[in-house]
Amino acid sequence: SLGLTGKEFSFFEIVRKNISCHEDGVVKEDKAEYITEDDIELSKNIAKDVADIVEKNYTVDWAANPTKTADIARSIFMMLNLKYFKQINLEKRKQLVQPLLQLAKRHYSKIEG
């Protein structure tokens, strides 16, 4: 119902978990966790943007090449800074890059064409 591919949904889950955490980083036990429609849309948009960045910057063996990996990490961080600076604070934007990059390595180390 979100309109995401399986790969995009993985990114969505990472973003959703990171932006819906309480500010103090503690999730209260025995309480339901609710996510707003705005957070769902934000997570969905970021997931699609990350997938797009990886696909556009894809080169063979990028996941094993530190320079190419750094280029994609930088592109993800710049996208977060340019498009989502009002919705996500700087610290959370920084924290998102590595989990998203690790998922990108797992899902996009090879692109079937």
Give the model confidence (pLDDT) of 11-47 as tens digits. Answer: 999 999 988 754 444 444 455 556 788 999 999 999 9
Residue type present at position 94: K
Residue 62 is assigned to a structural domain of this protein: yes
- Per-residue confidence (pLDDT) for residue 24, from 0 to 100: 43
Please count the structural domains in the chain.
Answer: 1
- Per-residue confidence (pLDDT) for residue 69, from 0 to 100: 97
Q: What is the mean pLDDT of residues 70-94?
A: 96
Residue 56 is assigned to a structural domain of this protein: yes
CB atoms within 10 A of CB 94: 13
> For the purposes of burial, counting CB atoms within 10 Å of the CB of 40, is it exposed (0-12), middle (13-18) or buried (19 or more)?
middle
Tokens for 50, please give them: 């990350």
CB 39 within 8 A of CB 16: yes
Residue 66 is assigned to a structural domain of this protein: yes
What percentage of the chain exceeds 70 in pLDDT? 85
Q: Which residue has the higher pLDDT, 35 or 109?
A: 109
What percentage of the chain exceeds 90 in pLDDT? 73
Using the Cα atoms of residue 1, residue 46, residue 13 and residue 107 in order, give the sign of their dihedral: positive
